[in-house]
Amino acid sequence: MAERRRWRRFTLGIAAALLIMAAWPVGSAYALNVWGIYKEAEKLDAKGKYAEAIAKYKLIADEFVKNKEYGNATNMYRNIGADYSKLKKYDEAVANWDKEALYADKAGQLQVSLAAKRKADMLRSSVQLYVETDAAAAGSANYHGEIFEPKNGAYIGAYAELDTAVHNAKTSNPFYTEKFPELTGKKHAAYLLYFTYGKPLSMLKSHLEHARANGTALQLGIQPIQGLDQVQDDEYLHQFAKDIAESGVNVFLRFANEMNGDWVPWHGDPDKYIEKFRLLADVMHKEAPNNVAMVWAPGSTPEYNIEDYYPGDAYVDWVGVSVYSIFNPTLDPLKAGEDRASHLDKFNHIYKLYAQRKPVFISEGGVSYMYPEKLQDKTAWASYQLKQFYLSLPMVYPKVKAVFYFDSNHDSSNRVKYYMLSANTKLLEAYKTSIASPFYLSTIGEESAVVYRKISGSTVEADVETVSAYMKTWTPVLSKVTYEIGGKTIAAVTQLPWSAKIDFKPYHGKRIDIVVKAYDPTGKLVTTQKSSVTVK
């Protein structure tokens, strides 16, 4: 339901913006016959003469910008980008859709600007290179000093109690704390549970016992189903906090998550939300200071109101976010039935806002292996997205400190979400491969021995280094990446995160360009990107 509501609001916003754009303002004077040239460009478009049409659109786009008629300029750059995409010149399409976003913003057309940026980002090609290094070199650069926080590395966690392959709620045999590690090949540091505010902690007795026995933490998603007014500074709240303290289990207490979305009953009153979060935090910090971390966790969308709900640094110990991807081809700029969005990039907004202030983590998330509206199998797409997410996250977002996978195929408003690992062998293998990285930690208090340092635009040692890449292209799945220096191919790799050992000793003291080429599953070259590094 949440996805449908967000999509409905988005499409209505676009429709309204397009109606506004239909009433183009006409400038009082032009150096060119802009509308005559525009009609010529339209005729060329109709004939499939896109390069010639682009030349016409560019002429009048410049004229509109000069006259500060940004709404008209927006439309021209949209047309230019569309024609470049038809010519399969995607870098040029991206550059012009970036201009569409820029001038739409200047014209006050926010929804159009956001849609243009989304189009551009889906086709944008880029590469960032990283080298694996000893965590000692990073020191405390990624550390905030919060409770449970590792200096480097991310705890792996999961929501698994609805996966019948690993958990039987009636008999407690099997129980997810033992069986999920068997399924995935690695012990997990914590598990997510949902809990209704007002209920006694004793309802979680078996979960707490298994957590203690297996040395795992719990993330409790506390939900005030009756509304925020239910939360009071009363005997229940203080006893609940004391019971957590007495349990001896480390708890990430995530209160009233996804408050920025209108699908939860605690949405809509940021001031009251902040008041109640602070109340809860004060009680927990007083009654259970050694084994409770207060977690504030919005959804990844909508973005515009997230900051309105932030309770403040003094009350928040960790910042989480819900990040999900379900195959959605409706936004494909090429109209080819692909989902070109990056699951990893959905973490970007929260990271930029809060990673300098607090440890940040994915408090729940997953990639669906089915396109539910069409019941189409999207396992290859989902497996790639999952591997790219887990294997690139430590490089791109080094301050991430935990990741919880939502291991469930659950039904929400008659729309099944297909995330369950035990139900899809290939997705499970992708997950197992990804969390095997030493960056992912199995026990609270553990530290990663490795970190990743960005070398694009920076320096690399004159030695043999393990280089990895976060590669983005307009093709949603890649099969191979090659590295070239001085026109010579020095490595070719076929697995994410495109790691290769490169000997930089011959280039000591030089500034070099590493040329990275990416290929699609058919072996076709998709993009060529260049990254400059100084070898010291």
Q: Find the length of the chain.
A: 536
- For the chain, percent of residues with pLDDT exceeding 90: 91
Residue 385 in tokens: 């997205």
What pLDDT is stored for residue 5 in this prediction? 47
Q: Do domains 130-450 and 455-535 have the same CATH topology?
A: no
For residue 31, the model assigns a pLDDT of 80
Mean pLDDT of the 417-425 span: 96
pTM greater than 0.85 (yes/no): yes
The whole-number pLDDT of residue 119 equals 95
Q: Using one digit for the tens of pLDDT, what is the confidence trace for 307-337?
A: 999 999 999 999 999 999 999 999 999 999 9
201-238 pLDDT, tens digit each: 999 999 999 999 999 999 999 999 999 999 999 999 99
Angle at 24 between CA 20 and CA 28, to 5 degrees: 145
For residue 200, the model assigns a pLDDT of 97
Q: Give 148-184 pLDDT, tens digit per residue.
A: 999 999 999 999 999 999 999 999 999 999 999 999 9
Q: Report the pLDDT value the prediction gives residue 229, as an integer from 0 to 100.
A: 97
What are the boundaries of each domain within the chain?
Answer: 2-124, 130-450, 455-535
Cα 117 to Cα 26, 106, 504, distances in angstroms: 26, 14, 37
Work out the mean pLDDT of the chain and round it to a whole number.
94
Q: Is the pLDDT of residue 15 over 50?
A: no
pLDDT confidence tier of residue 30, bands split at 50, 70 and 90: confident
Predicted pLDDT at 329: 96
Q: How far apart are CA 290 and CA 147, in angstroms?
A: 8
Does 2 have pLDDT greater than 70? no
Give the model's pLDDT for residue 413: 63
CATH of 130-450, one of 3.20.20.80, 3.40.50.620, 2.40.50.140, 3.40.640.10: 3.20.20.80
CATH number of 2-124: 1.25.40.10
| CATH for 455-535 (3.60.60.10, 2.60.40.10, 2.60.120.380, 3.40.50.150) | 2.60.40.10
Residues 536 and 459: their CA atoms lie apart, in Å, by 7
pLDDT tens digit string along 502-533? 999 999 999 999 999 999 999 999 999 999 99
